[in-house]
Amino acid sequence: MKISEAYDRVKAIDWEPSYISPEEKTVETTKFHIHETKPNDPFKTFVREYCEQEQEKDDRHYALLEASARLNTGEPDGRWMEGMKFGLSNLVGVEYAAARAMGRMARTVAPVELRQGYMMQMLDEMRHSNLEMNVIRHHMRSWKDPVGFDVAAKAGASSVGSSIFRSMVEDLITSDPVETSIGLQVFVETAYTNLFFVGLSSHASAHGDDMLASTLLTIQSDEARHMANGWSTLSSLLQDDRNIPLIQKAMDKWSWRIHCSFGLGNMLFGDYFVRKRTESAKEMTMRWVFDDFYGGFYQKLEKFGIKPPPHLDEMISDLDWMSHSAAIYIFGAWPTFFHRYDGLNDDDFEWFEKKYPGFYEHFGGFWEAYGQCKDPEEGRIVLKEMGGLPNFCQVCQRPTIFPRPDISKQRAFKVQDQTYIFCSDGCQEIFVEEPHHYVGFKNFYDLYEGKELSQVIQELGFVRDDGKTLMAQPELEPKRLWTLEDIRKANYIVERPAPPAFLK
């Protein structure tokens, strides 16, 4: 029997149970019209074949993990490894949320071909989160300062920087289940997959982190299936003209949401946690996201009536300053994190000025202040010297300093006498469309306003085993580590900034 015939026979086993109503079976409903569509099935794969393929990949990967644990292949770069404490803590959460999203979609979408793909992807995402947790475990055992890796799961849910990624995944897993496919499979896994898995694995390899490089490459081979799932779902939706305005609205939303979160994280790590650079994060993003995805994949949808994102020009212009604004935010707030930082040196300044003309004019002042606020004996923290943290966007949870602090597009907006703050037109438009979806998110000030900074650090749990030394440090090799007492001497109280100008 041909494999296609066998596959069709297996699909025919699907049935509608008589002991439960369709409404009870579906659990969640969708506003999209997909139940009567005839989806394409790009991967005619049986579960047995799928498990064999994944086991083969795992065998190769874990063999490398074991060999690395036994052999000393040289010390990885410190700037990179400390950055991975923050990066991996968020990545595991994104993968786990993706698994949950696939479960929701499998319970909502009727065509068996799509549900088959979603269930296999759910297994993929669980595999990915396990792989990444194993990298964290490996680094915790082998890195010279493992503190930070040991709190990765907790820190990914509580740190001030992680809220950007947390708001993204919470949006994904609580939006319309079919819309989740557009946000996750079309934008995260199609638009940004090469930038992340190819670009980041290249950086990992260049900086001696062979474990992460191997992990990302074995994950990337699954992403092709996930992209195909996204295209199958999208092409099925396009069969019904009633879906066109719904697709347009969802794609407009998620083009901006992923740009502000996953895209931002990629740019930050591509520019600021590496030492050996070839392309800038802007160049990589332009090549893999805006040229390949928006210039190729997205244009295929024009014949169906799908228009380009309304903020596409702004997304491109943001690339000039995005990574730098993100960097001054997390470097400025270093005491509220859980890893060591490596400030910029002359080589970094020269490279950034070459790749981003005007860099020093706009950001040099911060880095000069940062260099003067690293010694705990002096008791100066750059967070206080620069006037404290900015406001945060109610939708994407970014600080309202983008695309650049002096030309930020922050604004306040009232809904039923409640003031909400946004970083951009894009986030305000998303909020106005579904305000109930975002009003409940608590930002840093909602949790810690009025508290002294050392108290905040203790509540976050970002203190070493001695109960007094900070996990985070403003440099890789300080003469003395900062303690809670040093932070108390700086006398920084968390205060919410005044709201920006109101918009009607």
pLDDT at residue 431, as a whole number? 96
Percent of the chain residues topping a pLDDT of 70:
95
Please state the three-class secondary structure of 186-229 as a single string.
HHHHHHCHHHHHHHHHHHHHHCCCHHHHHHHHHHHHHHHHHHHH
Rounded CA gap, 409 and 163, in Å? 20
Going by pLDDT thresholds of 50, 70 and 90, the confidence category of residue 18 is confident
Residues 220 and 338 in one domain: no
Mean pLDDT within 46-62: 80
pLDDT at residue 114, as a whole number? 84
User: Is residue 265 packed enough to be buried (19+ CB in 10 Å), middle (13-18) or exposed (0-12)?
Assistant: buried
Going by pLDDT thresholds of 50, 70 and 90, the confidence category of residue 404 is very high
Residue 421 tokens read as 């703050």
Residues 279 and 336 in one domain: no
∠ CA 374-380-382, rounded to 5° = 70
Tell me if 28 is assigned to some domain.
no
pLDDT at residue 67, as a whole number? 73
Give Cα 33 to chain centroid, integer Å. 29
Residues 347 and 213 in one domain: no
Residues 358 and 483 in one domain: yes
For residue 137, CA distances in Å to 132, 313, 472 come to 9, 41, 19
239 SS3 class: coil
pLDDT at residue 7, as a whole number? 64
Rounded CA gap, 190 and 183, in Å? 10
pLDDT at residue 70, as a whole number? 67
Task: Answer whether residue 353 shows pLDDT above 90.
Answer: yes
Are 472 and 75 in contact, with CB atoms under 8 Å apart?
no
Mean pLDDT within 472-484: 96
For residue 321, CA distances in Å to 37, 195, 282, 363, 408 come to 43, 18, 9, 10, 11
Residues 55 and 135 in one domain: yes
Residues 303 and 165 in one domain: yes
Task: Answer whether residue 48 shows pLDDT above 90.
Answer: no
Rounded CA gap, 368 and 504, in Å? 39
Tell me if 9 is assigned to some domain.
no
For residue 492, CA distances in Å to 162, 189, 375, 383 come to 22, 41, 16, 9
pLDDT at residue 372, as a whole number? 94
Tell me if 284 is assigned to some domain.
yes
Mean pLDDT within 67-72: 66
Single out the residue of 287, 364, 269 nearest to residue 326, CA to CA.
269
Show which of 273, 296, 319 is a domain's final residue.
319
pLDDT at residue 69, as a whole number? 65
| Interaxial angle between packed helices 262-272 and 163-174, expressed in degrees from 0 to 180 and rounded to the nearest 10 | 150
First-to-last C-alpha distance (Å) of the chain: 66
Tell me if 4 is assigned to some domain.
no
| Interaxial angle between packed helices 199-206 and 210-237, expressed in degrees from 0 to 180 and rounded to the nearest 10 | 180
pLDDT at residue 11, as a whole number? 67
Q: Which helix (H) or strand (E) holds 103?
A: helix 78-108
Max CA separation in the chain (angstroms): 78
Residues 270 and 287 in one domain: yes
> Range with the lowest mean pLDDT among 26-40, 154-168, 430-444?
26-40
pLDDT per residue as tens digits for the range 175-208: 998 999 999 999 999 999 888 888 888 999 899 9
Going by pLDDT thresholds of 50, 70 and 90, the confidence category of residue 289 is very high
pLDDT per residue as tens digits for the range 166-176: 999 999 999 99
pLDDT per residue as tens digits for the range 295-348: 998 888 999 999 999 999 999 999 999 999 999 999 999 999 999 999 999 999
pLDDT at residue 219, as a whole number? 87
Residue 499 tokens read as 């709201």
Please state the three-class secondary structure of 275-329 as a single string.
CCCCCCHHHHHHHHHHHHHHHHHHHHHHHHCCCCCCCHHHHHHHCCCHHHHHHHH
Rounded CA gap, 290 and 306, in Å? 17
Residues 337 and 308 in one domain: no
Residue 13: CA count within 13 A, CB half-sphere: 6
Show which of 319, 337, 367 is a domain's final residue.
319
Mean pLDDT within 390-417: 94
Rounded CA gap, 255 and 250, in Å? 8
Rounded CA gap, 385 and 366, in Å? 10
* Highest mean pLDDT of the ranges 18-22, 110-114, 332-336, 414-418: 332-336
The mean of the pLDDT values for the chain is 90
Tell me if 17 is assigned to some domain.
no
Q: Give the chain's domain count.
A: 2
Task: Answer whether residue 375 shows pLDDT above 80.
Answer: yes
Task: Answer whether residue 355 shows pLDDT above 70.
Answer: yes
Residue 290 tokens read as 């805006």
Task: Answer whether residue 498 shows pLDDT above 80.
Answer: yes
The single-letter code of the amino acid at 453 is L
Strands 418-422 and 411-415: antiparallel
Residue 88 tokens read as 């991996």
Rounded CA gap, 121 and 101, in Å? 10
Residues 315 and 344 in one domain: no
Residues 208 and 350 in one domain: no
Task: Answer whether residue 459 shows pLDDT above 90.
Answer: yes
Show which of 259, 291, 319 is a domain's final residue.
319
Rounded CA gap, 285 and 196, in Å? 10
Residues 169 and 310 in one domain: yes
Beta carbons within 8 Å of 262's beta carbon, 6+ residues apart: 94, 165, 168, 187, 188, 192, 196
Q: Which helix (H) or strand (E) holds 105?
A: helix 78-108
Rounded CA gap, 100 and 246, in Å? 23
pLDDT per residue as tens digits for the range 92-109: 989 999 999 998 888 887
Task: Answer whether residue 42 shows pLDDT above 70.
Answer: no
Residues 65 and 204 in one domain: yes
* Dihedral angle of Cα 292, 293, 294, 295, to the nearest 10 degrees: 30
Single out the residue of 319, 490, 176 nearest to residue 482, CA to CA.
490
Structural domain harbouring 328: 324-504
- CATH of residue 345: 1.10.620.20
Neighbours of 191 (CB within 10 A): 26
pLDDT at residue 429, as a whole number? 96
How many secondary structure helices (H) and strands (E) does the chain include? 23, 3
Tell me if 11 is assigned to some domain.
no
pLDDT at residue 72, as a whole number? 62
Tell me if 372 is assigned to some domain.
yes
| Interaxial angle between packed helices 322-332 and 359-371, expressed in degrees from 0 to 180 and rounded to the nearest 10 | 10
Mean pLDDT within 259-279: 94
Rounded CA gap, 356 and 320, in Å? 7
pTM: 0.92
Going by pLDDT thresholds of 50, 70 and 90, the confidence category of residue 71 is low
For residue 406, CA distances in Å to 105, 324, 325 come to 42, 13, 10
The single-letter code of the amino acid at 280 is S
Quote the DSSP letter at residue 418.
E
Tell me if 2 is assigned to some domain.
no
